[in-house]
Amino acid sequence: MRISRIKLPLQAAMTVFGLIAAVRAENATGSGFSQRELHAKLEYCKTCHGVYGQGYRGAFPIPRLAGQQTEYIENQLRAFVERRRENKFMFTVTHVLTPEMVKVLAEQFKDLDAKPLGGGAKDLARAGKTIYDEGIPAANVPACANCHGPDAKGNGPFPRLAGQLDDYILRKLVNWSKERGQDPAHPDTSALMEPIAHGLSEAQIRAVAAYLSDLE
């Protein structure tokens, strides 16, 4: 009887300590949210952007986030919230995110390295590479590589374009002024792209997009 009286309290104590440790581990992100909350947000993002952040082609193209510059992701998520960038779906997603959650999500996607989906027209890729590397001087269009890097992997506020869906690039550039820079009183880096987007013909955009879609 004495042994059982000792064992039962010990077992109960071990159970309590185990539960406390589990709760502490779950809330140990140091960012004001639990690992469970972070995982839920990531899974929600992946339902549209792909399991590995590689992008998705559905009713309309959803962009690749894998390997994207963290500063760019953070800037764009704030732009959706502040209505500087127009997208009714992304406003709904982003306006509930804390700054800490935005930062961690950006870091999570930066670390992904999915293979590009490709799909761009192969016969346009060579012309697209020329435009990307050299620009179009006659139309005052600078080389894309100047900001996005020679490998198209971006730099800080300038996004990675390597592996981006070609139809997404086409859609964004053709409709640039309808979606970006929606708050002229508070311009952001999108203002740099507006004259460039307008200086490219749709055929030229398709060529650049085709070149970028297969880059890793």
Q: What is the CATH number of the domain that holds 156?
A: 1.10.760.10
Q: Is the model's pLDDT at 208 over the cut of 80?
A: yes
Q: In terms of pLDDT, which residue wins out, 80 or 187?
A: 80
pLDDT band at 6 (very low <50, low <70, confident <90, very high): very low
- Percent of the chain at pLDDT exceeding 70: 86
Q: Does 2 fall in a domain?
A: no
Q: Is the model's pLDDT at 10 over the cut of 60?
A: no
Q: Does 39 fall in a domain?
A: yes
How many structural domains compose the chain?
1
Q: What is the C-alpha to C-alpha distance for residues 102 and 78, in angstroms, rounded to an integer? A: 9
Q: What is the C-alpha to C-alpha distance for residues 80 and 59, in angstroms, rounded to an integer? A: 21
pTM above 0.85, yes or no: no
| Average pLDDT score over the chain | 87
Q: Is the model's pLDDT at 209 over the cut of 60?
A: yes
Q: Does 82 fall in a domain?
A: yes
Q: What's the pLDDT at 3?
A: 42
Q: In terms of pLDDT, which residue wins out, 188 or 171?
A: 171
Q: Does 8 fall in a domain?
A: no
| Spatial contact of 205 and 117, defined as CB atoms under 8 Å apart | no
Q: Is the model's pLDDT at 5 over the cut of 80?
A: no
Q: Does 16 fall in a domain?
A: no
Planar angle of CA 214, 215, 216, nearest 5 degrees = 115
100-121 pLDDT tens trace: 999 999 999 999 999 999 999 9
Q: Does 19 fall in a domain?
A: no
Q: Strands 56-57 and 61-62, how do they pair?
A: antiparallel
Q: Does 158 fall in a domain?
A: yes
- Here the tokens at position 90 are 């992304």
Q: Does 9 fall in a domain?
A: no
- Percent of the chain at pLDDT exceeding 90: 79
Kind plus residue range of the DSSP H or E element containing 97: none
Q: What's the pLDDT at 149?
A: 98
11-32 pLDDT tens trace: 443 333 333 333 333 444 556 7
Q: Which domain holds residue 181?
A: 35-213
Residues with Cβ within 8 Å of residue 6, at least 6 apart in sequence? none
